[in-house]
Structure 1
Amino acid sequence: MSVNATDEWAAEACTLPTVEQPLRRAEFDDLFAHDVVGVRPTSPRELTLELRPVPEVAARAADLAVRETGCCSFFTFALTMTEGRVELAISTAPAHEAVLVALQARAEERVGAGT
Structure 2
Amino acid sequence: MSDQHSTDDVWAPDACTLPTVERPLRLAEFDRFFVDAVRGVERLSAGHLRLRLDGSGQVEATARDLTAREATCCSFFSFDLSRSGPDSLTLDVRVPAGHVDVLDALAGRATSVRGER
Q: What RMSD in Å do the two structures reach over aligned CA positions?
A: 1.3
Deviations 1:77-112 (A, max 9, x none): 000103222011100000000000011000000116
Q: Distance in 1 between matches of 2:106 and 2:56?
A: 23
Q: Distance in 1 between matches of 2:65 and 2:41?
A: 19
Indicate the residue corresponding to 1:30 in structure 2. 32
Note the residue ranges of structure 1 that are not aligned, 5 or more in a row. none
- With the length of structure 2 as denominator, give the TM-score of the two structures: 0.89
Note the residue ranges of structure 2 that are not aligned, 5 or more in a row. none
Report which of the two has the higher share of helix. 2
- Give the AA of the match of 2:44: T
CA contact (8 A) 1:34 1:113 kept: no
CA contact (8 A) 1:37 1:52 kept: yes
Indicate the residue corresponding to 2:46 in structure 1. 44
Counterpart selection for 1:89 from 72, 87, 92: 92
Runs of 4+ in structure 1 off by over 6 angstroms are none
Q: Distance in 1 between matches of 2:4 and 2:94?
A: 20
Equivalence map 1:1-115=2 (5 Å):
6-7=4-5, 8=8, 9-84=11-86, 85-111=88-114, 113-114=116-117
Query: In the superposition, relative to structure 1, how do residues 51 and 112 fare at CA in structure 2: closer, same or farther (>3 Å)?
Result: farther
Q: Distance in 2 between matches of 1:96 and 1:33?
A: 24
SS of aligned partner of 1:13: coil
